[in-house]
Amino acid sequence: MRFLRELQRDFMEAVYGGDESGFARKAVADEFSGRERLRLYRHIAFGNMTDALRAAYPVVEQLVGKEFFDGAAWEFIRRYPSRSGDLHDFGAEFAGFLSRFPSAAILEYLPDVARLEWACHKVFFAADRDAFPLDRLAQVPQSRYGHLRFKLNPACRLVRSRFPIRRIWEIHQPDYRGERTVDLNEGGADLLVRRRERVIGLFPLGPGEWDFLSALGAEQTFSKACGGVLIKNPGFDVAGRLRHFVADAILVDFYDERKRRGKSKSA
């Protein structure tokens, strides 16, 4: 299979690297039209990937315009080739890329809007989860509460920005019909991105809530998450907020690390 592998490597190099002449000479039946045809394949490949980015980042495209978006997308594709046969996986690094893309530097909030859109993209395809297993929680002895670790609903993500990205996102939604101005000094946003049934919404979190949910979402133990939030936000109602996250299925599961380890050892 040496020949096939070499041919495919060279083909990909011609598509991504942009130098098609060597490959056209070596492998394409009609060398003259071959170069042109390889360019056509590059155009189709880059076009497919650009369309995938366009689908995941519609607000970014509206903010910068189609021409700029297409230019940024082609540069991005060259630097971050697709790593999956499923185009829905493509574009995870786009926010990071935009933060280092000199032509976009004037729009300081653009990378954060892109991060928000990627969170929405992931949430769109995430699993539908049942309610929290309250019965199982009721069987946990009180002495183990501090050791519990919780699981964030897969259709929930947390996004933080020092810019009003919720407002920016909302006024660029297709069904938005209101005032289209944004005050960039209005302040940042700590957001819970969440899909309920099939609708995605952005919900602002208070400072304590953000710290607490971030810690729980990172699967810290309950006692560590409480300690962290209470140092920064004395008087924060951890029990009340936990009840809310559980009742609202923002948290959907829990486990006891020590008990789980013990189980797997005995298995």
Partner 1 sequence: MNCASPKFDPIPAKAGIGLRAPHYREILATLPAAGWFEVHSENFFGDGGQPLHFLEQIRSHYPIALHGVGLSLGSAGPLDRGHLARIKSLAGRFQPGFVSEHLSWAGVDGRYSNCLLPLPYTEESLKHVCRRVERVQEFLGRRILIENVSSYLQFKQSTVPEWEFIAAVAARAGCGILLDVNNIYVSAVNHGFDPSLYLQAIPRGAVEEIHLAGFEAQGDILVDTHSRPVYEDVWELYKRAVLRFGITPTLIEWDADIPPLAVLLEEAWRANAVMEGEYAFSA
- The phi and psi torsions of 142 (rounded to 5 degrees) equal -55, -35
Q: Binding partner 1 by CB under 8 A: which of 66, 78, 79, 88?
A: 88
Angle at 144 between CA 143 and CA 146, to 5 degrees: 100
| Cα Rg of the chain, angstroms | 24
Does 155 contact partner 1 by CB under 8 A?
A: yes
State both tokens at 207. Answer: 């400072």
Position 38 contacts partner 1 (CB under 8 A): yes
If one asks whether residue 74 binds partner 1 (CB under 8 A), the answer comes out as no
Q: How far is the CB of 249 from partner 1 (least distance, A)?
A: 13
Interface with partner 1 (CB under 8 A), residue from 62, 82, 99, 233: 82
Using CA atoms, how far apart are residues 224 and 207, in angstroms rounded to an integer? 17
User: How far, in whole angstroms, is CA 166 from its chain's centroid?
Assistant: 15
**Rounded Cα–Cα distance for residues 61 and 179 (Å):** 20
Residue closer to partner 1 by CB (options 94, 212) is 94
**C-beta of 25 vs 144, nearer to partner 1:** 25
* 21 lines the binding site for partner 1 (CB under 8 A): no
Q: Are strands 189-196 and 199-204 parallel, antiparallel or unpaired?
A: antiparallel
48 binds partner 1 (CB under 8 A): yes
- Tell whether residue 83 is a contact of partner 1 (CB under 8 A): yes
Closest of 223, 188, 228, 235 to residue 212, by C-alpha: 228
Of 20 and 211, which CB lies nearer to partner 1 in the complex structure?
A: 20
The residues binding partner 1 (CB under 8 A) are 1, 3-5, 7-9, 11-12, 15-16, 27-30, 33-34, 37-38, 40-41, 44-45, 48-49, 52, 81-88, 90, 123-130, 154-155, 195, 198
